[in-house]
Amino acid sequence: MKLRITRYFGTILLFLLPLVGARCQSVPAPVPAQSPAAASAPTQTAPATAPAVDPVVALQRAQRILQDWPNLGRYHDADMKVPPPGPDENRVVFMGDSITDNWGSRYGKFFPGEPYINRGISGQTTPQMLVRFWPDVIALGPKVVVILAGINDIAGNTGPTTLDAIEDNLQAMTQLARSSGVRVVLASLLPVCDYIQPQTTRHPPEKIVELNQWIKDYATENGYVYLDYYSAMIDGQRMFRKELTFDGLHPNDAGYAVMAPLAEKAIAQALQ
């Protein structure tokens, strides 16, 4: 019990410390007197700073995470309303993070007319997806699951991690699917770029390439379908094509238009 309390207290501190720092930075520093020459010099624009974090919003988010870390509540009611699949229904569940979550809700069209179910949650990492894999995927009775995950692990959204740990979680999800008779499509991570805003520092391209190679090899060795989004979305510098993204990390309408037929082809292959 003491260890659990310590962990909770540590988690809360992780959210509070950035707030304290942001508040401290918001206090204006004294402005030194300028000489006449300095006063007449051209004014330089200060670099833009990140917007202040609302402490109440941050604490509410921390409380939600403490109460439901994998966010099982996000789709609980929706899952309860999903009927069993029909005898000839090729039901597909898409498991992922914001790149899946945004598909059809923010950008792109999410396969209109198809019996496909979106179970993406923005910001999630593979351990969170693994916890909710049973209720949000297996219990829905799909024939195929499309898994796109790992970029938020690389960014450290739920703490520092290793590629080995990401791979372990992907293996666990695929084995859960296989043991339940669900066919697996493993998608590559998308590329990133800094053309619009900085992304490569938190999402090093070399780690994306390394994880994608492991995903491809693992899928091939185990009879899963490998869905290669990455190769279709890179430019000559091996960065996310600027016209396919709105922020260098997530696809826009044009990006999803590239991804959709690739996903359809992979699903058809899995159903053979």
Residue 75 lies in a domain: no
Indicate whether 114 and 146 sit together in one domain: yes
Q: Is residue 33 part of a domain?
A: no
Amino acid 30: pLDDT: 40
Alpha carbons within 13 angstroms on the beta-carbon side of residue 128 total 27
Out of 2-6, 133-137, 197-201, 244-248, which region has the weakest mean confidence (pLDDT)? 2-6
According to DSSP, the residues that pair with 92 across neighbouring strands are 116, 144
Closest of 197, 194, 189, 183 to residue 214, by C-alpha: 189
Q: Quick: pLDDT tens for 166-195.
A: 999 999 999 999 999 999 999 999 999 999
Predicted pLDDT of residue 59: 77
Domain that holds residue 222: 85-271
**Residues in CB range of 64: below 8 A, 6 or more apart:** 71
176 Cβ neighbours under 8 A, 6+ residues apart: 133, 134, 137, 138
On the question of pLDDT at 223 being above 60, the answer is yes
- Predicted confidence (pLDDT) at residue 50 exceeds the cutoff of 90: no
User: Is the same domain home to 145 and 203?
Assistant: yes
pLDDT at 69: 94
Please report, for the domain that includes residue 199, its CATH number: 3.40.50.1110
First to last CA, the chain: 51
- Is residue 220's pLDDT more than 70? yes
Neighbours of 163 (CB within 10 A): 14
The helix (H) or strand (E) run that includes residue 263 is helix 253-271
Write out pLDDT tens, residues 105-147: 999 999 999 999 999 999 999 999 999 999 999 999 999 999 9
Residue 56 has pLDDT above 50, yes or no: yes
Does residue 172 sit in the same domain as residue 237?
yes
**What's the whole-number average pLDDT of the chain?**
85
The residue type of 28 is: P
Q: Model confidence at 27, in pLDDT bands (50, 70, 90)?
A: very low
Q: By percentage, how much of the chain surpasses pLDDT 70?
A: 80
pLDDT at 206: 98
- Of 119, 226, 134, residue with least CA distance to 175: 134
In a domain, 32, yes or no: no
Same domain (yes/no): 195, 253: yes
pTM of the model: 0.79
By the 8 A CB rule, do 76 and 135 touch?
yes
260 shares a domain with 219:
yes
Total domains in the chain come to 2
Q: How far apart are CA 62 and CA 54, in angstroms?
A: 12
Tell me, yes or no, whether 188 and 231 share the same domain: yes
Using CB atoms within 10 Å of the CB of residue 264, give its burial: 0 to 12 exposed, 13 to 18 middle, 19+ buried. Answer: middle
Residue 39 lies in a domain: no
The residue that leads in pLDDT, 29 or 253, is 253
- Residues linked to residue 251 through DSSP beta bridges, in sequence order: 245
pLDDT band at 52 (very low <50, low <70, confident <90, very high): low
Rounded CA-CA distance 104/113 in Å is: 13
What is the pLDDT averaged over residues 206-229?
A: 98
**Bigger pLDDT: 63 vs 250:** 250
Average pLDDT (143-161) is 97
Domain co-membership, 117 together with 61: no
96 in the same domain as 15: no
- Whether residues 92 and 61 share a domain: the answer is no
Across the range 245-251, mean pLDDT stands at 98
Question: Sorting pLDDT into bands at 50, 70 and 90, what band is 31?
Answer: very low
Instruction: Give me the pLDDT at residue 166, please.
Output: 98
d(CA 119, CA 101): 7
